């Protein structure tokens, strides 16, 4: 079984690339972040033509998550149970479902913006709610994983130059402590470092030739419980999908399971 996560940075803008990648990659389940469209605009028909069902949590031009599956869906939960509001609204940042033998979440963790910004405090509250919400599944006997754009680099080695992030989000101790809290539930990072190259980044800014210069970050993560981790046979970041015209600023992260 092949499961992947990809922040597409607008499913509408990226649809031709997503369709082509699904056809070529043999992915069974894809977790999508930043759909940047309402649920009614989500291209379910085009995806169904390729054999993928879709479930979506999206409300407009910002945020939005989805799951695509060619092995079906059961027990879909839209949103983060117990999750905090931001500006009086629970943003569309989480969706979960059982896909065949595996239960998965697609999450788009808040960015945090700046350490002094209310969005940073919201990010930490959101992560705390995520820890509570996934605890039972993380400790259970069914393969389970939380995949997505966490907007946190787990270690200094996951940033091209951590000195440039002094006083900035994505690398702070409270954010990394929140990741440690998720691991306390029984989840582990199942995409090991190093992979097949020295710097398995997943995100490169569009500006200042960041991708050609490999000025990236590893912020798209796959956190799985013990049954999930034990089934992992291979994992990789599909850097090729970050290349060329019309690419997202994130690359897909792919995990192969032997179930």
Are 61 and 33 contacting, i.e. CB atoms less than 8 angstroms apart?
no
Q: Note if the pTM is more than 0.95.
A: yes
108 bridge partner residues: 149
Pairing of strands 102-108, 144-149: parallel
Complete DSSP assignment for 37-49: SBGGGS-HHHHHT
Count the domains in the chain.
Answer: 1
Residue 128 CB coordination number (10 Å): 16
Residue 76's domain is classified under what CATH number?
A: 3.60.10.10
Domain annotation covers residue 43:
yes
The answer to whether residue 93 scores a pLDDT higher than 90 is yes
Q: Provide mean pLDDT across the span 246-257.
A: 97
Residues counted in the chain? 259
Residue 94 lies in a domain: yes
> What pLDDT score was predicted for residue 192?
75
Is 247 within the bounds of a domain?
A: yes
Q: How many Å from the N-terminal Cα to the C-terminal Cα in the chain?
A: 7
Taking only the tens place, the pLDDT of each residue in 40-73 is 999 999 999 999 999 999 998 899 999 999 999 9
Can you give the residue range of the structural domain that contains 38?
2-253
Residue 258 is assigned to a structural domain of this protein: no
d(CA 79, CA 55): 12
Structure tokens, 137: 């599944």
């Amino acid at each position: 079984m092949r499961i992947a996560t990809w922040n597409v940075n607008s499913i509408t803008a990226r649809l031709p690339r997503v369709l082509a990648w699904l056809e070529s990659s043999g992915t069974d389940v894809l977790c999508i972040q930043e759909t940047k469209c309402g649920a009614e605009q989500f291209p379910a028909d085009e995806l169904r033509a390729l054999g993928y069902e879709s479930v979506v949590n999206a409300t407009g031009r910002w945020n939005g998550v989805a799951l695509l599956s060619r092995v079906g869906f059961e027990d879909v939960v839209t949103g983060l149970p117990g999750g905090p509001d931001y500006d009086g609204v629970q943003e569309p940042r989480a969706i979960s479902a059982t896909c065949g033998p595996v239960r998965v979440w697609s999450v788009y963790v808040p960015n945090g913006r700046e350490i002094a910004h209310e969005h940073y405090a919201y990010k930490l509250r959101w992560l705390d709610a995520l820890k509570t919400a996934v605890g039972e599944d993380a400790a259970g006997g069914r393969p389970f994983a939380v995949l997505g754009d966490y907007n946190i680099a787990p270690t200094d080695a996951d940033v091209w130059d951590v000195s440039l992030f002094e006083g900035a989000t994505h690398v702070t101790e409270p954010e990394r402590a929140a990741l440690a809290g998720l691991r306390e539930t029984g989840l582990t990072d199942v995409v090991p470092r190093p992979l097949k190259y020295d710097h398995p980044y997943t995100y490169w800014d569009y500006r200042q030739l960041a991708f050609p210069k490999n000025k990236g970050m590893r912020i798209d993560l796959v956190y799985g419980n013990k049954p999930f981790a034990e089934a992992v046979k291979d994992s990789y970041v599909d850097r090729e999908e970050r290349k060329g015209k019309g690419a997202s600023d994130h690359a897909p992260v792919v995990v192969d399971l032997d179930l």
